[in-house]
Structure 1
Amino acid sequence: MKIHHLNCGTMNMPSAPMVCHVLLVETDNGLVLVDSGFGTADCATPARTGPSRHVIRPVLLQRETAVHQVQSLGFDRNDVRHIVLTHFDLDHIGGLADFPDADIHVTAAEARGAVHAPSLRERVRYRSQQWAHGPNLVEHTPDGEAWRGFAAAKELSDIAPGIVLISLPGHTRGHACVAVDAGDRWILHAGDAFYHHGTLDGSAVPTAWRVMETAFAFDRRQVRDNHARLTELYARNDPSLLIVSAHDPELYRRAQSIA
């Protein structure tokens, strides 16, 4: 499968500029997005993204939206048939409405926490305007298959072989990672399971990133456990695996350079 690495949302948070790293996957069953970044409606109406925009400072450019980049690559928006989400935070699902006919794949735990039965804390966190168009949610419970040491994983074979949803709660109630087989290597999109590459390689993590990661954690103990598991995987230095996060611009540049 051919994978395109897209930045679908530059954010100019002071001392910690970020991207919204989205994967566009070409499969025999159409196009698949992993996350969707900010969407055209977010760009047109910034207030829809809520008060956190004053902290993360999204640029909100139409040309950075997934739908614009899909079309720039010569595809039609209707070619995107599936979107696999790491979680429901506003900077990951804003583009859903730009692909109204796509099936939206998510863990059942995340769907419950965001859509079906959110706690008060989750109601404040999520922006229901971003799914007011009524997307078709396909809920998964990754609870049996193993993938590189992760026990709670599920291959989404109904979409295409080589796309694996890996349950990794902590950042949110039902957060997941998504692994995609690129042929010569696997790409593990870790979403917000970690923010900065320093978490994996031991280099300094900017203070603003550490503060934000802690502030947004649904379960801080699980986040720390996830860091340990991902760091162990990274330390194996396996050339057949590339680990990326959703917001690290350096990891985004590295992924683009080898795509």
Structure 2
Amino acid sequence: MADWEVYAIKYADRNARTRADSFILDDNHDTPHPMDYYMWLLRRGQEVILVDTGYDLQEATARGRPIRLDPAEALAPLGLKPEDVTQVIVTHLHYDHAGGLHLFPNATLHLQAAEMAFATGPCMCHDALRLPFTAIHVCEAITRLYSGKLVFYDGDAQVADGVTVHCIGGHSRGLQSVRVRTSSGWMVLASDAAHFYENVFARKPFPIVVDMENMLAGFDTLERLASAPGLIIPGHDPLVREYFPQVLADHIFRLDGGPTKDVRA
């Protein structure tokens, strides 16, 4: 079968952050450290798989974290309308990854069973663990379940030819990364298994963590799954926009050709 095209779609950013928000035990904790927010699109001929959905204006207002572009509108330069999307891999149920599920009404969701159990279980009694979740997003996933549009996985699994998911956990109990066969080799959309290149390459954990051991082991898993270090795509790093070419619009970056420079330099 043919390889997949892979696109990073930036819909928001947040600049009022420091390195203390991104890394545990960092010496330069008060240095500014911006964050980008992405969705990812996989395309092979007429096949389309969306990885995560971003969050909408309502969530942006509620959290005081503005978006630059509505996730449903962000796909337009790729010739897609929200109703065209029939498959969505949900890496985890945090607001910035599952906050737009309702925008894609025809989509079947692909989710780790551990993530649903986590987001609906007793761990949500703790404010610190519940903070990245929004109830209405979790309820949307449950609605898809009851309408027959949710597929659960327990660990590693194949979603389509050349597309597999791998449960890593750490940041959230059922966090999964996505491995995609491209013309450059096996690419891994880390999502929040590595928010930034520095998380994985310098082995610096991200502060929002459920299981530190799983997070650290996950860095090894990302490197094992990818054909080369440059094919690990972190979930929130602005450097993605420097390493990969912009195409079609100023918020879309094509990944499958590989990076234009050494990401470990």
The interval holding the TM-score normalised by the smaller chain is: 0.7 to 0.9
- Corresponding residue for residue 145 of structure 1: none
Question: Which secondary structure does the structure 1 equivalent of 2:239 belong to?
Answer: helix
- Corresponding residue for residue 23 of structure 1: 40
Q: Which digits, 9 at most, give the CA deviation of each residue in 1:166-221, with x for residues without a partner? A: 01011111111111122332220111112221234449x7xxxx6xx22x100112
Deviation at 1:124, TM superposition (A): 4.4
- Corresponding residue for residue 175 of structure 1: 175
Q: Which digits, 9 at most, give the CA deviation of each residue in 1:130-189, with x for residues without a partner? A: 2444333321112xxxxxxxxxx21113xxx11100010111111111111223322201
For residues 15-164 of structure 1, the aligned pairs below 5 Å read 15-28=32-45, 30-43=47-60, 46-47=61-62, 49=63, 53=64, 58-61=65-68, 63=69, 65-115=70-120, 118-121=123-126, 122-133=129-140, 134-135=143-144, 136-142=149-155, 153-157=156-160, 161-164=161-164
Aligned residues: 223
1:224 is matched with which residue: 210, 216, 222?
216
Question: Which secondary structure does the structure 2 equivalent of 1:225 belong to?
Answer: helix
- Corresponding residue for residue 238 of structure 1: 228
- The one-letter code matched in structure 1 to 2:43 is E
1:36 and 1:12 mapped to 2: Cα distance? 21
1:251 is matched with which residue: 236, 240, 254?
240
1:12 is matched with which residue: 9, 12, 15?
15
Q: TM-score, normalised by structure 2?
A: 0.74
Question: Which secondary structure does the structure 1 equivalent of 2:231 belong to?
Answer: strand
In angstroms, what is the RMSD of aligned CA positions?
Answer: 2.7
Deviation at 1:118, TM superposition (A): 4.9
Give unpaired runs (5+ residues) of structure 1. 143-152
Structure 2 contact 55–99 (Cα < 8 Å) conserved: yes
Give unpaired runs (5+ residues) of structure 2. 18-31, 247-253, 256-265
Q: Which digits, 9 at most, give the CA deviation of each residue in 1:110-130, with x for residues without a partner? A: 011113665413444410122
Deviation at 1:4, TM superposition (A): 1.7
Structure 1 contact 112–118 (Cα < 8 Å) conserved: no
1:229 and 1:74 mapped to 2: Cα distance? 34
Structure 1 contact 96–131 (Cα < 8 Å) conserved: no
Question: Which secondary structure does the structure 1 equivalent of 2:118 belong to?
Answer: helix
Structure 1 contact 80–102 (Cα < 8 Å) conserved: yes
Structure 1 contact 42–60 (Cα < 8 Å) conserved: no
2:72 and 2:114 mapped to 1: Cα distance? 27
Closer/same/farther in 2, CA of residues 78 and 130 from structure 1, 3 Å limit: same
Structure 1 contact 30–81 (Cα < 8 Å) conserved: no
2:77 and 2:131 mapped to 1: Cα distance? 35
Identity %: 23
Q: TM-score, normalised by structure 1?
A: 0.75
Closer/same/farther in 2, CA of residues 39 and 224 from structure 1, 3 Å limit: same
Deviation at 1:94, TM superposition (A): 1.2
Question: Which secondary structure does the structure 2 equivalent of 1:20 belong to?
Answer: strand
Deviation at 1:97, TM superposition (A): 1.1
Which range is displaced more, 223-232 or 76-85?
223-232
